[in-house]
Amino acid sequence: MKVLVLGGVAAGTKVAAKLMREDQSNEVLVLNKGKDISYAGCGLPYYVGHVIEDKEELIVNTPAQYEKLTGVKVLTETEAVKVDVQAKTVTAKAVVSGEERVYSYDKLVISVGASPVKPPIEGMNLENVFFVRTPADAISIREVVDSGNVKKAVVVGAGYIGLEIAENLLLQGVRPVVLDMAPQVLPGFDMEMAAYVEDKLGDAGIPVVTGVKVTGLEGNGKVEKVLTDKRAYKTNMVIMSAGIRPNTEFLEGIGLEMFKGTILTDEFGQTNIQDVYAAGDCAMVHHAVTGKAAWSPMGSTANMAGRLIAQNMSGKSIEYRGTLGTAVCKLPGINVGRTGLTQEQAEAEGFEPVSVLTVLDDKAHYMPGAGNFIIKMIADRSSLRLLGVQVIGAGAVDKVVDIAVTGIMLKGTLTDLADMGLAYAPPFSTAIHPFVHALNVLRNKIDGTLESMTPAEYAAGATKGYKVVDTCKAASIEGAPFVELTTVDGPIDGLELEDNILLVCNRGRKAYLLQNRMKSYGYKHTKVLEGGIAFNNVEV
């Protein structure tokens, strides 16, 4: 079988190598526009921050190494410019000489990835304005940072890449400011979780301004100022990470079904055109929960989809199980992770979402380095199906996320996933794993054992008509009466049985214990503030 693969980084090299492993008689040719193939795009921010020292580390395989390792042929700096699906040919242009050649195929894989969005504003060609997509980009950024002439940087875009770059600039002594048009950082997180992260970033030296649109860049040769619809920011450097767009313009008009320039694929990775497959950032997959077409421009998805379509092209029939939009990201002092549907997405998809936000120990509290996990867990109230998890914490958030991924992929309910005997020893976890603990709290909420107010409800003003009661370890909320749980042995002075009472403690647990006790003394309308003062800014 003669296979042409267009694009040779994550998805392309994965498809090509697997095709050869499936059948060594395959003839596989990769055409790649860029100079490097098989590089670690995900590692680029860490090269800028000197976490990865050598640029060679960014290149997983040179074309020569890859060819020897796999038996695939590679042509770099060769850009596909036209596809003829009737004749089964691709015309490609040598980037340096401009010379065009026609290549034929039995089967075609499109894995041309995506490119950073270049906003149509003045000043984009000024010096020290960068994107972050290729090793060459990261090398250029680091050279300028290492020159010592960069004190301030503006990062445009508060997604994972923008924030990772900001952290690595900070590591090198540069003061970053992150600007984003969206009302929150980290798309894919619910608003209150994103707001918490935004606060922590500010504390760590990465101020973020959301809801601000960059309108232009100014400077004399080098960039000096970023103009926005609110105010201007002086800077020595700009990193544009305001999203990506699939590199599919050259495919227009050939009959490929696309959505906003992204190629639609079925569960086998095949496009609507016979013998044409697509994978990676230029392709749509489907969502594992909703079944709808979904874009998952992630290295993880690119590699998985690549492997799968190579097997399907080789005669197997393996369905891609869908994406959950799973992501994990290291930020200064905290890590963040997410999977599945957010509360907002779950509502939009017609579920009846119920969520809980818990603040839990991430390992035995007496161990050095113990900290908190903030876990937001979302399930469907009627079916009890787990829909999504978001987690913030200094520790191994990826483990919490990965347990959730397993549960959601297997369509697990809260009952299915309860009481799992997850690994425990003090340096790693708590006796009831934080995931199971959060799940128990959510089950308590659903069956009415816990009556609570979410941070989102609290922020939206749901406390109107409630008396706030401070039940922290020590009095901590100015203007709120303090009640020590262990002293309560009947109705509490100043609190009537019919009062609406919001119980607030440090993290939520003590308030829950007090609620339980107060119910037994006849209090009818108490609520626990989820996350307590650890998560909410409580003012009376």
Using CA atoms, how far residue 286 sits from 257, 266, 322, in Å, is 15, 8, 5
3-class secondary structure per residue, 329-360:
EEECCEEEEEEECCHHHHHHCCCCEEEEEEEE
CB of 303 to ligand FAD, least distance (A): 8
Which residues pair with residue 293 across a beta bridge? 286
| Catalytic (active site) residue 42 | yes
DSSP letters spanning 219-232: EESEEEEEEESS-E
What are residue 197's DSSP bridge partners? none
Nearest-Å Rg of the Cα atoms of the chain is 26
- In the bound state with ligand FAD, the residue whose beta carbon lies nearer, of 279 and 456, is 279
Considering the complex, state which of residue 12 and residue 407 has its C-beta at the smaller distance from ligand FAD. 12
Closer of 30 and 436 to ligand FAD (Cβ): 30
Residues that bind ligand FAD (CB under 6 A): 6-12, 31-34, 41-42, 44-45, 79-80, 111-114, 132-133, 161, 247, 250, 280-281, 297-300, 302
Question: H/E/C letters for each residue in 468-504?
Answer: EEECCCCCCCCCCCECCHHHCCCCCCCCCCCCEEEEE
| Helix/strand/coil percentages in the chain, nearest 5 | 30, 30, 45
Cβ-based nearer residue to ligand FAD, 156 or 359: 156
- Pure H helices in 258-396: 299-313, 343-348
Identify which of residues 239 and 453 has a Cβ nearer to ligand FAD in the complex.
239
Rounded to an integer, what distance in angstroms lies between the CA atom of residue 413 and that of residue 172?
45
Element containing residue 242 per DSSP (H, E): none
Q: How far is the CB of 164 from ligand FAD (least distance, A)?
A: 6
Instruction: Between 79 and 190, name the residue whose CB sits nearer to ligand FAD.
Output: 79
- Helical pair 434-447 and 397-409, crossing angle rounded to 10 deg: 60
Give the shortest CB-329-to-ligand FAD separation in angstroms: 7
Sheet holding 208-210, edge to edge: 129-131, 237-240, 152-156, 175-180, 208-210
- What is the dihedral angle through the alpha carbons of 159, 162, 167, 171, rounded to the nearest 10 degrees? 170
Catalytic residues: 42
